[in-house]
């Protein structure tokens, strides 16, 4: 019987992020996120297994998390969160929940 490894659901987002790795800071965009990690769009790829810190802000909540490059591409890198506490893990769970919650559609207005 074949074994399947399931990962947490990923959700599409578009958030600005600041990544600090190898003594430099790079600006990029988070394109999807899960409780385990995120996909970043960067101008220059990072080497596989590089470690750093990512900082992102959503609805006046800023998170700084340690990350490791799980896979690298030409313009996008998959980052795995390296949790140092349960409070960090819970903060990411709350962030993912708030990013994926249905928005209040009554505030939206179509303009033509």
pLDDT of residue 101: 74
Per DSSP bridges, beta strands 37-41 and 76-82 are antiparallel
pLDDT at 64: 95
Q: How far apart are the first and last CA of the chain?
A: 57
Q: What pLDDT, on the 0 to 100 scale, is given for residue 65?
A: 96
Q: Per residue in 53-103, pLDDT tens?
A: 999 988 888 899 999 999 988 889 999 999 999 999 999 999 888 877 776
Predicted TM-score (pTM) of this structure: 0.81
Domains in the chain, please, with CATH? Answer: 11-98 (2.40.10.220)
């Amino acid at each position: 019987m074949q074994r399947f490894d399931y990962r947490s659901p990923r959700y599409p987002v578009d958030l600005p992020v600041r990544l600090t790795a190898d003594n430099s800071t790079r600006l990029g965009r988070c394109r999807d996120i899960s409780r385990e990690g995120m996909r970043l769009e960067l101008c220059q790829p990072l080497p596989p297994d590089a470690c750093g810190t990512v900082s992102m802000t959503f609805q006046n909540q800023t998170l700084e998390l340690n990350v490791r490059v799980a896979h690298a591409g030409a313009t996008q890198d998959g980052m795995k969160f390296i949790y140092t506490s349960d409070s960090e893990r819970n903060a990411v769970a709350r962030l993912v929940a708030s990013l994926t919650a249905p928005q209040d559609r009554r505030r939206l207005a179509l303009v033509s």
